[in-house]
Amino acid sequence: MISELIERGVIIPAPQAIVLEDIKPSRIMSGAKLYPGTILRGPNLFIGRDAIIGEGGGALIENSQIGARSRLMQGVYRDCTILDDVIIRNGAEIREGCLLEEGVELGHTVGLKQTIFMPNVVAGSLINFCDALMCGGTSRKNHSEIGSCMALYNFTPQGDKFASIFGDVEHGVFLNCKPIFIGGQTQIVSPVHIGFGAVLAAGSKLTQSIGENRIVSSMGHECDHEYDPNIISRPIEKVRLCKYYIKQLKLLKHWYRNVRIPIFRDTEYELLMRWGQNRIESGIKERENRLSAFVEKISKYLAIARTSCDTTTINHLKKAIQIYKRRDPVKIPETWECENIRDAVQLQMDKNHLDYISAIQKYASLFDN
């Protein structure tokens, strides 16, 4: 199998130091380079043209899809989809449900799970950023930034997991929004929604949503008081943010189905885009399951609260359940005339030889004018 890859133009400097397990050789494109210590595993694996895998100590790529010219250094990459021109440095652990779009760059020792980075998001080193969607910025120089030693906490003492969103999909897909800046050593407790243009000063601690074009600096304070693990704080806000996050994922799924996939139809990258949609779908399922479990916990706590809590707390719990049950269909934005967008972007790519990112931004500039 290794000799077949070499004949097809895959660069393997040390063939004896590569492990291939249950892969389809036709899904490793010519020009891809596999460094010693690399392990490629799984029938759903895809490596794009001129991608560089395992530099700096080898990498495990398992049932993941890697786009053209992406550079993945030593790390573990399982059940994730990484598009073109992504750079990930040593020590990464990119787990299931992750989708990293074009131009994303991660420093060393970054851990992601169920996370979506839209184009040009840049993260420093020593970062935990699970269960999140982030967008913003217009280029590699004007990008959304996550500072080093930053932690996004998604797990509560009660065992619940929440997700946070930075920007929004409705505007973020056009790649013309203000970047979001998260300073180094910042701590964020999910769920929160951070608006475009927001700045979180280095060392800040954030537990609430902030709007667009806001700057926040909060170093926190020590506290010591009695703790009841059964108390559910901010139930209304948490349910609302969970439903909002699910809506954003459904919008992104719509974008992939109606714009990205048709644009790349009948090319080798149609498969990559379809896997990107699959990651979004897995994220929707994950968040729906987590929200359902959280609301079930609210219902159980409500029975206890009726005998031990004040009226305000009881009403908040009831309202949270009502919000969860409320039908709230996803509305496609008026600016999303997907057929027109798709045709316009396809024309720019075919006529002017633009890549997808440049074509989308060209369309957005015409739309703004």
Q: Which residue has the higher pLDDT, 326 or 368?
A: 326
* pLDDT for residue 168 is more than 80: yes
Give the domain extent around 50. Answer: 2-216
100-109, 133-142, 244-253, 346-355 — which is least confidently predicted?
346-355
Q: Which residue has the higher pLDDT, 62 or 339?
A: 62
Residues 248, 105, single domain; the answer is no
How many beta carbons lie within 10 A of that of residue 4, not counting itself?
A: 11
Residues 176, 247, single domain; the answer is no
Q: Is residue 50 part of a domain?
A: yes
Q: Is residue 230 part of a domain?
A: no
Residues 103, 246, single domain; the answer is no
* pLDDT for residue 315 is more than 80: yes
Q: Are 335 and 177 in contact (CB under 8 A)?
A: no
Q: Is residue 151 part of a domain?
A: yes
Residues 52, 144, single domain; the answer is yes
Q: How far apart are CA 202 and CA 217, in angstroms?
A: 8
Residues 170, 131, single domain; the answer is yes
Q: Is residue 224 part of a domain?
A: no
Residues 35, 130, single domain; the answer is yes
Look over the chain and give the mean of its residue pLDDT values, rounded to a whole number.
92
For residue 75, what pLDDT is reported? Answer: 97
Residues 91, 26, single domain; the answer is yes
Q: Mean per-residue pLDDT for 68-93?
A: 97
Q: How many domains does the chain have?
A: 2
| Model pTM score | 0.94
For residue 227, what pLDDT is reported? Answer: 64
Residues 35, 117, single domain; the answer is yes
Residues 254, 304, single domain; the answer is yes
Q: Mean per-residue pLDDT for 209-231?
A: 78
- 269 falls in which pLDDT band (50, 70, 90)? confident
Q: Among the three residues 216, 250, 268, which one is the final residue of a domain in this structure?
A: 216
Residues 204, 250, single domain; the answer is no
Residue 20: CATH number of its domain: 2.160.10.10
Residues 62, 128, single domain; the answer is yes
Q: Is residue 226 part of a domain?
A: no
Q: Among the three residues 216, 248, 279, which one is the final residue of a domain in this structure?
A: 216
Q: Mean per-residue pLDDT for 47-52?
A: 97
Q: Is residue 142 part of a domain?
A: yes
* pLDDT for residue 369 is more than 60: no
Residues 171, 303, single domain; the answer is no
Q: Among the three residues 167, 187, 216, which one is the final residue of a domain in this structure?
A: 216
Q: Is residue 31 part of a domain?
A: yes
Q: Is residue 222 part of a domain?
A: no
